[in-house]
Chains A and B, each alone.
Chain A
Amino acid sequence: MSYISLSDKDRKEMLDKIGISSPEELFRCIPDDIRLTKGLNLPAAMPEPELLRHFEALASKNVYAKCLSFLGAGSYVHFIPTVVDFLSSRGEFVTPYTPYQPEISQGTLQAIFEYQTLICQLTGMDIANASLYDGASAAAEAVLMAHRLNGKAKVLVARALHPQYRQTIGTYTKNLAVTVEEVGFGANGEIGLEELAKKLDKEVSAVILQSPNFLGVIEDLKKIGELAHSHQALFIVAVAEAASLGILEAPGKLGADIVCGEAQSFGLSPSFGGPGLGFMGCMKDFLRQLPGRIAGQTKDVDGNRGFVLTLSTREQHIRREKATSNICTNQGLCALRATMFLETLGQSGLREMALQNLQKAHYAADRLTRIKGVKKKFAGNFFNEFVLEYPKDAKKVNKYLKQKEVIGGLSLGSFYPELGNCGLFCVTEAHTKEEIDRLARLVKEGLR
């Protein structure tokens, strides 16, 4: 199978027009000694029915799909309304590129404008960009942005920020004039305020933490923001579970200067971790340092409203090495899906979803901690994730659950060595009471 649209006659006519007899002649500009002399060693072409069989076989090797799972930790299962899949798979949305020609890209541009508005409403920030790759790289971009804004070199990173976000910040800052210091979490799972206060000085560019944090605990943003600001540091809040914004106060209302994170929860399936949707919003004074594409409203020559990509003098294609970021292609279609998801759920739906997450997770935590030997590790309040401590290695409990086709809370030992007996559970509106009860029964059995 090929996707070529030329007939033999077409090819002949085109070669005649060019004035050559074989397409081979067009490649004479490549030296012979680096030309391939034999065919590529790749599998033979597969017609569509065979290809689909092949992929169905591959997908069915993922036996995880049959399991009841309580994994979260940066990737979440939420119900996706049918209209999202239906509308977002239209070729008019799937097959254009970045809207460089606004006159014929108003669909994409208006959707980005709506997306930016929704992100501002959710985060409480003045402005938002059109998307970044994912939560981890968005966190790294936020740290670099803070550094550009105040020129200071030190960043304080909460240890309860997603470990992969921390790792990505480490990679992005390693070769630049930015140093990273971690601030641990206290017994209640929140950031250690004393440690934070001690590490804050006038050299600190920004404090970045996640809320609800990687351990599921909701941070006291107001207090932390005040502390950061009292040392002229910027306060960056990362949100990995965007569904929490349906009920928790907007971080921008609690002192955040930059809010960034992962919006996979808004209409994207887990998909083995990608594609996700990085988002970022900030105060309007920071506009010139915001990375990524931005859509803006304007008028055409007839006075009709229209939308364009704007403020491109921040970007690499104009500013080159002085750009705010090297990002070009971002996560356009994912942002469109999030827009559809949020507009479909609407005011009441998003709140209802968030409340059900909260209630079901608390039910599950109560149910599980009634089992002898199982304790809630942290006293801090939580949204839809919580850490339980077993009397033995969480890996062993998970092994038992796995035999029963249940995937228990993520074993935390490889992220935090001191939490080897702990599992991070995620319960969303997609879980039923019966499933939560089944989990509790099996955990009890697994501990016997």
Chain B
Amino acid sequence: MIREPLIFEISAKGKRAFGLPKLDVPAKDQILEGLAVRDEIPDFPQVSEVEIVRHFTRLSQVNYCVDIGFYPLGSCTMKYNPKVNERAASLGGFITSHPFAPEDMIQGNLEVLKRMEDYLCEIAGMDAFTLQPSAGSQGELTGMMLIRACLESRGNPRKTVLIPDSAHGTNPSSAHLSGYSVQEIKSNQAGTVDLEDLARNMTEDVAALMLTNPNTLGVFEWDIKKIAEIVHAKGGFLYMDGANMNALTGICRPGDAGVDVIHINLHKTFSTPHGGGGPGSGPVGVKKAFMPYLPVPLIEKRGGRYALNFDRPKSIGRVRSFYGNFLVVVRALAYILTLGPEGIKEIAEVAVLNSNYIRKSLDQEYHLKYDSPTLHECVFSDKVQKENGILNIDIAKRLIDYGVHPPTMSFPLIVHGALMVEPTETESKRDLDLFIEAMKKIAQEAKENPEILKSAPHHSYVRRLDETTAARNPVLKWVREKKSGVSRT
């Protein structure tokens, strides 16, 4: 197998892959006088165009992706990314727009943003949306800051945020960055919020409950209205992490169930590609009471024209430059318009059908800690396989040999050895069956030949990597090897 070198290792003095037209203005000497400048950037690459093309083509071939196959990474909603959305987002009128261009010259952009806000309001049952947050966790931060601003205006920002023990790690982190301490709420035997624990902890010091619904087990919080009542009765607010909105589109609206503030991930529910880790988009929806605090600017429609309103004295300010990840919004809008209301509802219907089909097909081989009905995802564990010394990571690595991306393992923390499977709605039965068959074979192998799992993957470009050494002796960049040996940083 060809091992693709680092670009720096094939670089050689004098090679080029780029040139500019000759300078067409008279060159002026002495411009750089007195400035700290440099003649060259030490070790910066010098390669030819064909080397660039082969380098990245080869690197692409050692990546697994949604376009290749099934990617049931739970809670990440790795659905198919429609190609027409890419085309829409590459139109010249969009990509050349400068963020400070005069309003009347970028009416198309403002219309895209405003209509997206309106459609998200309709889908989530909220009164207003901001599209500024760059990803889900920035959405959480924005949402919690909005809650804080609203409470402050009532005289007391409060101290604590309640978060169920099943939550994603970004929730406590975002709450902390908003100036709150975090109190964990227990899950009950059904895997949902323990109402007694909630009522006990819900005091007038509590600003909000951050609730993921359906939660990370894929279980819908049946008591959501009661939960909202408990929180509201003490003057707190209900924040919903809408990462799992894919289970609910067209079925039920968080805003109708007492949710005050919500974020949605356009790169999950609305199919924008994950790009190897972004760019995403994490719009935040609010009820009326929070509208004065939304980030600046707000997009408004006045007499058929769209305008940006910066004059908002109560706003929390901004959480980034400009108007958010605009091109991600273009893709998501294309998706909503392609699907229409029936198609949007079908997202949830088929995502939930696919997930339950997998659950039912594997519940003999793999342990399910909670037997509550689940929606778009289900969380198995390695409890059965552990008897043979096999952990979730071994199952995951063996799945790679069968040509499937492993499920999520890092959470929920309430399931030890978790295997969180989210198939999404776009998968064919054939791909679901390939996964089910692979999982069954692995369950069999765990009993009969556990070593083959322990040493998996066997057929990938690299095999199991030493992550401990990577963290203990970090090598985080390439450096020219010195004669005496490898230098590290």
Interface pair B100/A75, CB less than 8 Å apart: yes
* Chain B residues whose CB sits within 8 angstroms of the CB of A295 once the complex forms: 476
Interface pair A275/B319, CB less than 8 Å apart: no
CA of A29 to CA of B76, assembled, Å = 22
CA of A437 to CA of B488, assembled, Å = 51
Choice from B257, B373, B489 contacting A29 with Cβ under 8 Å: B373
CA of A213 to CA of B66, assembled, Å = 42
Interface pair B101/A69, CB less than 8 Å apart: yes
Interface pair A326/B173, CB less than 8 Å apart: yes
CA of A327 to CA of B429, assembled, Å = 35
CA of A221 to CA of B38, assembled, Å = 14
Could you say which of B232-240, B284-292, B342-350 contacts chain A? B342-350
Residues A39-67 near B (CB distance < 8 A): 39-48, 51-52, 54-56, 58-65, 67
Q: Which residue of A lies closest to B253 (CB)?
A: A36
Return B375 CB to nearest CB of chain A, in Å. Answer: 7
CA of A108 to CA of B87, assembled, Å = 23
B427 interfacial contact with A, CB 8 Å: yes
CA of A175 to CA of B94, assembled, Å = 36
CA of A284 to CA of B466, assembled, Å = 22
Interface pair A336/B276, CB less than 8 Å apart: yes
Interface pair B276/A97, CB less than 8 Å apart: yes
* Chain B residues whose CB sits within 8 angstroms of the CB of A350 once the complex forms: 41, 44
Interface pair B59/A42, CB less than 8 Å apart: no
The answer to whether A318 and B100 touch (CB under 8 A), given A29-B220, A349-B19, is no
Interface pair B251/A101, CB less than 8 Å apart: no
* Chain B residues whose CB sits within 8 angstroms of the CB of A315 once the complex forms: 169
Could you say which of B28-36, B193-201, B442-450 contacts chain A? B28-36
Q: Which residue of B lies closest to A136 (CB)?
A: B321
Interface pair B100/A328, CB less than 8 Å apart: no
How many A residues are at the interface, by size bracket? Answer: 35 or more
Residues A74-90 near B (CB distance < 8 A): 74-75, 77, 79, 81, 83, 86-87, 89-90
Contact with A along B30-65 (1 / 0, CB 8 A): 011011111011111111010011011101111111
CA of A325 to CA of B174, assembled, Å = 8
Choice from B6, B31, B168, B323 contacting A273 with Cβ under 8 Å: B323
* Chain B residues whose CB sits within 8 angstroms of the CB of A347 once the complex forms: 40-41, 44-46
* Chain B residues whose CB sits within 8 angstroms of the CB of A318 once the complex forms: 169, 410
Contact with B along A10-46 (1 / 0, CB 8 A): 1101110111000100111111011110011111111
Interface pair B275/A94, CB less than 8 Å apart: yes
The answer to whether A381 and B173 touch (CB under 8 A), given A271-B97, A274-B324, is no
CA of A138 to CA of B61, assembled, Å = 31
Interface pair B321/A74, CB less than 8 Å apart: yes
CA of A108 to CA of B43, assembled, Å = 22
* Chain A residues whose CB sits within 8 angstroms of the CB of B273 once the complex forms: 94-95, 333
CA of A304 to CA of B466, assembled, Å = 10
Interface pair A134/B65, CB less than 8 Å apart: no
* Chain B residues whose CB sits within 8 angstroms of the CB of A325 once the complex forms: 173, 177
Choice from A73, A100, A128, A287 contacting B100 with Cβ under 8 Å: A73
* Tally of chain B residues near chain A (CB < 8 A): 203
CA of A322 to CA of B175, assembled, Å = 11
B353 interfacial contact with A, CB 8 Å: yes
* Chain B residues whose CB sits within 8 angstroms of the CB of A137 once the complex forms: 134, 138, 319-320
Residues B153-208 near A (CB distance < 8 A): 157, 168-170, 172-179, 181-182
* Chain B residues whose CB sits within 8 angstroms of the CB of A232 once the complex forms: none
Work out how many contacts link A and B, with CB atoms closer than 8 A. Answer: 667
A248 interfacial contact with B, CB 8 Å: yes
Taking each of A45, A81, A165, A414, which has the highest tally of chain B beta carbons within 10 Å of its own beta carbon?
Answer: A45
Return B374 CB to nearest CB of chain A, in Å. Answer: 8
Interface pair B18/A271, CB less than 8 Å apart: no
Interface pair B350/A4, CB less than 8 Å apart: yes
Interface pair A332/B276, CB less than 8 Å apart: yes
Interface pair A63/B275, CB less than 8 Å apart: no
Interface pair A64/B98, CB less than 8 Å apart: yes
Interface pair A93/B275, CB less than 8 Å apart: yes
Interface pair B37/A101, CB less than 8 Å apart: no
CA of A99 to CA of B71, assembled, Å = 12
The answer to whether A353 and B327 touch (CB under 8 A), given A346-B47, A347-B45, is no
Interface pair B105/A45, CB less than 8 Å apart: no
Contact with B along A303-327 (1 / 0, CB 8 A): 0111010111101111111110111
Q: Which residue of A lies closest to B167 (CB)?
A: A320
Interface pair A64/B102, CB less than 8 Å apart: yes
* Chain A residues whose CB sits within 8 angstroms of the CB of B462 once the complex forms: 102-103, 106, 300, 302, 304-306
B277 interfacial contact with A, CB 8 Å: yes
Interface pair B477/A62, CB less than 8 Å apart: no
The answer to whether A71 and B76 touch (CB under 8 A), given A39-B250, A114-B7, is no
B337 interfacial contact with A, CB 8 Å: yes
Q: Which residue of B lies closest to A130 (CB)?
A: B277
The answer to whether A62 and B471 touch (CB under 8 A), given A249-B37, A317-B169, is no
CA of A134 to CA of B279, assembled, Å = 10
CA of A433 to CA of B107, assembled, Å = 30
Interface pair A332/B26, CB less than 8 Å apart: no
Q: Which residue of B lies closest to A106 (CB)?
A: B62
Interface pair A363/B25, CB less than 8 Å apart: yes
B395 interfacial contact with A, CB 8 Å: no
The answer to whether A23 and B353 touch (CB under 8 A), given A2-B339, A326-B173, is yes
Interface pair A46/B225, CB less than 8 Å apart: no
A131 interfacial contact with B, CB 8 Å: yes
Return A127 CB to nearest CB of chain B, in Å. Answer: 5
The answer to whether A298 and B375 touch (CB under 8 A), given A106-B63, A106-B462, is no
Q: Which residue of B lies closest to A429 (CB)?
A: B20
Interface pair B16/A349, CB less than 8 Å apart: yes
Return A123 CB to nearest CB of chain B, in Å. Answer: 10
Interface pair B63/A107, CB less than 8 Å apart: yes
A247 interfacial contact with B, CB 8 Å: yes
* Chain A residues whose CB sits within 8 angstroms of the CB of B337 once the complex forms: 43, 45-46, 51, 54
* Chain B residues whose CB sits within 8 angstroms of the CB of A29 once the complex forms: 219-220, 222, 372-375
Interface pair B471/A296, CB less than 8 Å apart: yes
Return B253 CB to nearest CB of chain A, in Å. Answer: 6
Interface pair B476/A43, CB less than 8 Å apart: no
A-B contacts, 5 of them at CB < 8 A, read A11-B353, A14-B429, A62-B106, A171-B317, A381-B31
Beyond contacts A42-B340, A272-B106: 14 other A-B pairs, Cβ-Cβ < 8 A, are A2-B346, A5-B431, A13-B429, A45-B337, A62-B97, A65-B96, A94-B67, A99-B277, A100-B73, A106-B59, A272-B327, A298-B470, A326-B137, A328-B170
Please provide the 3 A-B residue pairs with the shortest distance between their CB atoms, ordered closest to farther. A273-B322, A45-B340, A59-B93
